[in-house]
Amino acid sequence: MDNKLIFRLKEFYTLEILQVAFYEAQANSATDEYYKKAFEKIVGTEQGHVDYFADKIVQANEKVPSVAGSVFQLAGSVVGETMEFVGKYNTCMFGVALENKATEMYRTFIDETNIKNYVKIKDTLFKNLLDEEFHAYWLRDYATKHPNA
């Protein structure tokens, strides 16, 4: 495995860790049953993404990166804005921004695997990309339907 690919696997591992942490915090603090279930479901999917990249890193005899500092600050720096935790609307819209960033990163990674012909990785990247898109659609839809939440 070349260094560039290892770099990407670690980068995506960190991205997915941030997503798990963000959604888990929302699921834990939510009181609305439907909203809570939605975030728990997203956490499950993101954890699957984390596990995939962790496995790949270990298979390459590399160390899984440790995510230091506040994950929320890191998530904010990924999105390029401060995380707003006031209400469901802001939370969902921050989630949309995070998912959009993840989607953009997945598309870049997929383009790279096209050049290098990493068929197996590419297959999973496409599945993950679609998961992130579904998350973004749900979050945006919820925010649109609950503008004052």
User: Which member of 129, 135, 139, 143 binds Fe ion (CB under 5 A)?
Assistant: 135
Structural tokens at position 99: 């998912």
Judged by beta carbon, residue 10 or residue 135, the one nearer Fe ion is 135
49 belongs to the binding site for Fe ion (CB under 5 A): yes
92 belongs to the binding site for Fe ion (CB under 5 A): no
Judged by beta carbon, residue 88 or residue 102, the one nearer Fe ion is 102
What is the C-alpha to C-alpha distance for residues 91 and 29, in angstroms, rounded to an integer? 12
8 belongs to the binding site for Fe ion (CB under 5 A): no
Quick check: 34 and 57 in contact, CB under 8 A? Answer: no
CB of 45 to Fe ion, least distance (A): 7
Quick check: 49 and 42 in contact, CB under 8 A? Answer: no
Quick check: 56 and 19 in contact, CB under 8 A? Answer: no
User: Which member of 13, 22, 46, 103 binds Fe ion (CB under 5 A)?
Assistant: 46
What is the C-alpha to C-alpha distance for residues 115 and 79, in angstroms, rounded to an integer? 27
Helix (H, G, I), strand (E, B) or coil at 118: coil
Question: What is the DSSP annotation of 31-50?
Answer: -SHHHHHHHHHHHHHHHHHH
| Candidate ranges 8-16, 28-36, 54-62, 139-147; the one touching Fe ion (CB under 5 A) | 8-16
User: Which member of 43, 71, 113, 132 binds Fe ion (CB under 5 A)?
Assistant: 132
Give the number of residues in contact with Fe ion, rule: CB under 5 A.
6
Interface with Fe ion (CB under 5 A): 16, 19, 46, 49, 132, 135
